[in-house]
Amino acid sequence: MFEELERINERPEPFQFYTASDLWTDEHTSRQMLSFHLNEAIDVSSRNAEFINRSVKWIATEFNIGEESKIADFGCGPGLYAARLAKYGAIVTGIDFSGRSIEYAKDFAAREQLNISYVNQNYLEFETDDRFDLVLMIMCDFCALSPTQRKELLSKFHKILKPSGLVLLDVYSLSAFEQREETATYEVNQLNGFWSPNKYYGFQNTFKYNEDKVVLDKYTIIEFEHTRQVYNWLQHFAPEDLEREFTEANFSVKEFYSDVAGSPYDRKSSEFAVIANKV
């Protein structure tokens, strides 16, 4: 028992483990995540519907979205952005490795007769001969990736964009990092049964890596027959650090905002968005 508790509370190296598929492809948790996506009143999995509508309206104006605009939506989920942008006439490709979300998105696009291609794949492995005017990565997905993964992804963005194509993504700020604290909690059927339909004991350990500006929410789920761990990494950025990563990937940062709805940049904001040009 002591050794098990030691393992539960062990602090890994930053981005030592990558378990995103355990969250998005598991039969039970993917159903939970889709229900969060589709709850228009909350900011879990996706942002609330009012914000998404405002965000899409700003994106359509800022990037002059219209007939023949080609957009790649990385981490598209059930197509909440993709569907709205397609209604402006855009030709959209959505990539997500939650099969449950992609099936919902496909069904909705078919009913609405929207020009969207959905790909059920880990976007880190996505390849295409298509070339896009705009790449989106929304809901701070970029923060869940290691430095190596981020470098590879920016290289992919550069490859699939047209000349002078644009990227829009959002990230967590240093202000958000400062507000996080290290904690250790335990609960039977933690998060209201989120992790399993069966009885389980859930442990959450939150670790802060001050030098790297990384937060880890480490979940240990103990069921009768097995134990598993899920690692939710969150990189936090200063604008100058994010700009450095884009510059190294041959992008030029055009503008920072406090969110993907075009709110003026505020260093105190818990998140911020960036627009970058391919160069």
Q: What is the pLDDT of residue 24?
A: 81
The tens digit of pLDDT for each residue in 204-215 reads 999 999 999 999
The tens digit of pLDDT for each residue in 171-204 reads 999 999 999 999 999 999 999 999 999 999 999 9
Q: What does the alpha-carbon distance between residue 273 and residue 2 come to, in Å, rounded to a whole number?
A: 44
Q: Using only the alpha carbons of the chain, give its radius of gyration.
A: 19
The DSSP bridge partners found for residue 44 are: 46
Which superfamily does 27-168+238-267 belong to?
Vaccinia Virus protein VP39 (3.40.50.150)
Q: How confident is the model at residue 19 (pLDDT cuts 50, 70, 90)?
A: very high
The mean pLDDT value of the chain amounts to: 95
Percent of the chain topping pLDDT 70: 100
Q: What does the alpha-carbon distance between residue 150 and residue 182 come to, in Å, rounded to a whole number?
A: 25
The tens digit of pLDDT for each residue in 23-70 reads 788 889 989 888 888 888 877 777 899 999 999 999 999 999 998 899
Percent of the chain topping pLDDT 90: 88
* 8 A C-beta contact, residue 250 and residue 158: yes
**Which pTM was predicted?**
0.94
Nearest to 172 by CA among 217, 268, 216, 236: 236
Statement: residue 275 has pLDDT above 80: yes
Q: What does the alpha-carbon distance between residue 77 and residue 81 come to, in Å, rounded to a whole number?
A: 9
Statement: residue 1 has pLDDT above 90: no
* Residue ranges covered by each domain of the chain: 27-168+238-267
The DSSP bridge partners found for residue 132 are: 161
Q: What does the alpha-carbon distance between residue 204 and residue 219 come to, in Å, rounded to a whole number?
A: 5
Q: How confident is the model at residue 98 (pLDDT cuts 50, 70, 90)?
A: very high
Tokens of 49: 């519907």
Nearest to 205 by CA among 14, 13, 9, 19: 9
